[in-house]
């Protein structure tokens, strides 16, 4: 931090020596550093022991390990995606490049389209809309790419009522931003930065939850989908495509392989295949009140979620947080007790024994008034309770 140049770009991993996830990331981190170096990238790759360099960790607001951050022109960008080589390198390349990338030819436009599932493009000359677009890019470059192009670069099938315009290309089609219809540009981009239907992992689900929208999931097997799983997945995909205008402002659509993450959310075992609507803004969820066999059943379920007629479960209230703590403790300790009962008893019994001893010592050390100490206290108390003594002189012979 003291010797780096003003234009240097750094990709930094903050770790703790005892962190298992940090150790698992080490081989990936070395691959990333080697690849950036071989490509001649301007990105410098480093790592810092957050337990030793506490001041640096505090400056970067490191709270969990491993923490991955980019530093560019004294602006810090936090990476919250999957800990994979591809995901981290894509993040680094996105931050290291220009905020808004110019597409100067049809070939470049087609190349960008082939690489990105969702692509935002500003079309037109300099304008207040472009200034607003650039400002949004400064905040959301962590999540997605931003491009600009002239009208003649776009495919002829793209019809724009007027210029300048902001267009999002996804799902094999495109949608044009309208302030009157879509509201704030930043909010619109934040809502539209995911495909209408896609496979969703825990990182993507968390990012979707940050936008405030609900997520409809078809939970299916991780491998070898059964016939019912395929049908559930197809139902969600059809609803996403055919009823986009009805639900896209409030909801994302996708499928998730496996149910481990959702099991933790609902604090129980979720049947696969099944449907669930997740609200990660408050850790809530909705389950269908009955069997969902047709598209009509699924639409009724979604309408019930939006109008409040379907009961919401979970949440982040005090009682729910206590239940979640108990559940997570039980999930953590159950494998230990099953594989090493003595170790499990020690892990549970030792803190309880320490707590019991502490309570006992506190109670024993507490001062008491009464009992055997009354005689010692009485001389001190009596003078303060009685008035001053009157003395009289006696005459003596």
Active site residues: 19, 22
* Sheet architecture: strand order including 75-79: 43-49, 9-15, 67-72, 75-79
- DSSP per position, 158-187: ---SSSSEEEEEETTEEEE--HHHH--HHH
Contact 214, 278 (CB under 8 A): yes
Radius of gyration of the chain (CA): 31
Q: Which of 25-44 are b and which e, b meaning 16 or more Cβ less than 10 Å from the residue's Cβ?
A: beebbeebbeebeeeebebe
Say how far apart CA 30 and CA 79 lie, in whole Å. Answer: 17
Place of tokens 């933790």: 264
Say how far apart CA 354 and CA 174 lie, in whole Å. Answer: 63
Whose CA is closest to 103, among 93, 94, 112, 91? 112
Say how far apart CA 153 and CA 110 lie, in whole Å. Answer: 9
Half-sphere exposure of 337 (CA within 13 A, CB side): 9
Which 3 state secondary structure label does DSSP give 237? helix
CB count in 10 Å sphere of residue 273: 20
Burial class (CB in 10 A: 0-12, 13-18, 19+), 125: exposed
Q: How far apart are the first and last CA of the chain?
A: 100
**Backbone phi and psi for residue 31, each to the nearest 5 degrees, phi listed first:** -65, -40
- Helices and strands, number each (H, E), in the chain: 15, 15
Q: What's the CA angle centered on 324, arms 321 and 327, to 5 degrees?
A: 155
Cβ-proximal residues to 246 (8 Å cutoff; 6+ apart), any chain: none
CB count in 10 Å sphere of residue 391: 5
């Amino acid at each position: 931090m003291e010797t780096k140049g003003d234009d240097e770009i750094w990709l930094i991993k903050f770790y703790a020596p005892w962190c298992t996830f940090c150790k698992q990331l080490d081989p990936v981190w070395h691959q990333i550093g080697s690849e950036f170096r071989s490509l001649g990238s301007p990105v410098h790759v480093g790592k810092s022991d957050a337990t030793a360099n506490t001041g640096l960790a505090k400056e970067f607001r490191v709270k969990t390990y491993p923490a991955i951050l980019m530093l560019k022109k004294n602006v810090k960008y936090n990476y919250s995606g999957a800990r994979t080589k591809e995901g981290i390198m894509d993040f680094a390349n996105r931050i290291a490049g220009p905020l808004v990338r110019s597409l100067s030819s049809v070939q470049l436009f087609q190349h960008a389209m082939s690489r990105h599932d969702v692509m935002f493009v500003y079309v037109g000359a300099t304008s207040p809309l472009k200034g607003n677009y650039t400002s949004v890019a400064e905040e959301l470059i962590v999540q997605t790419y931003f491009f600009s192009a002239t009208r003649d670069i776009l495919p002829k099938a793209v019809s724009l009522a007027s210029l300048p315009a902001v267009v999002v290309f996804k799902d094999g089609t495109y949608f044009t931003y309208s302030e009157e219809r879509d509201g704030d540009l930043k909010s619109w981009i934040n809502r539209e930065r995911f495909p209408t239907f896609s496979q969703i992992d825990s990182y993507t689900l968390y990012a979707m939850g940050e936008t405030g929208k609900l997520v409809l999931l078809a939970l299916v097997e991780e491998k070898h989908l059964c016939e019912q799983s395929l049908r559930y997945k197809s139902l969600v995909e059809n609803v996403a495509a055919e009823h986009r205008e009805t639900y896209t402002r409030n909801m994302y659509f996708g499928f998730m392989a496996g149910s481990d993450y959702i099991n933790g959310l609902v604090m129980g075992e979720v049947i696969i295949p099944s449907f669930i609507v997740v609200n990660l803004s408050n850790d809530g969820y909705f389950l269908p009140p009955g069997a969902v066999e047709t598209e009509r059943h699924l639409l009724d379920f979604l309408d019930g979620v939006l109008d409040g007629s379907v009961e919401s479960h979970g949440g982040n209230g005090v009682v729910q947080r206590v239940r979640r703590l108990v559940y997570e403790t039980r999930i953590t300790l159950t494998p230990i007790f099953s594989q090493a009962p003595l170790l499990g008893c020690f892990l549970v019994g030792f803190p309880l024994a320490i707590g019991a001893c502490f309570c006992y010592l506190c109670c024993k050390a507490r001062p008491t008034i009464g009992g055997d100490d009354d005689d010692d206290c009485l001389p001190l108390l009596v003078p303060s309770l009685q008035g001053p003594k009157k003395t009289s002189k006696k005459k003596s012979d």
